[in-house]
Structure 1
Amino acid sequence: MPKQSGLDGRHRDADGRISQKHGNTLVGTLRDTYGEDFGAGTRSDAKLSTLLEKEGVESLSQLLKKDE
């Protein structure tokens, strides 16, 4: 499948849905994309799912909007 613009490094699944970050993605990995301040106060080896629970949100997009 050719690269599609506007997906921020994500890809579309076979059914056409845009894939989302998995809860097992490490905070340190996400800091490479969103900056060193992402998840401040959270260890870099913590999982995204742990950070989401701590912040009381259900998705990465909700977390990013909360921090705006």
Structure 2
Amino acid sequence: MTYGIDISGTEIRWVRFSAESNMATCGRIPLDERSSNYTLKQTVKRLFAAKKVRSFVYPIWGVGVRAKLFGSNKVD
């Protein structure tokens, strides 16, 4: 599985791609405009725990992205 995460001003968008089944799954988590970086990190941690993401998580950078959350390619 490969995951992509995009954190913008109003939502966290994620996509999961499985090379074996050639299928993608995506979702959104709405954010409050006043969310702090700590709140964003906690929300992403809960998302990763729910989806059982353990490693190889690559942030997607783009226009309007508010936070850089990961300094490593592994999330434990």
TM-score, length-scaled by structure 2: 0.24
More strand by share: 2
Look at both structures and tell me which one has the larger radius of gyration over its CA atoms: 1
More helix by share: 1
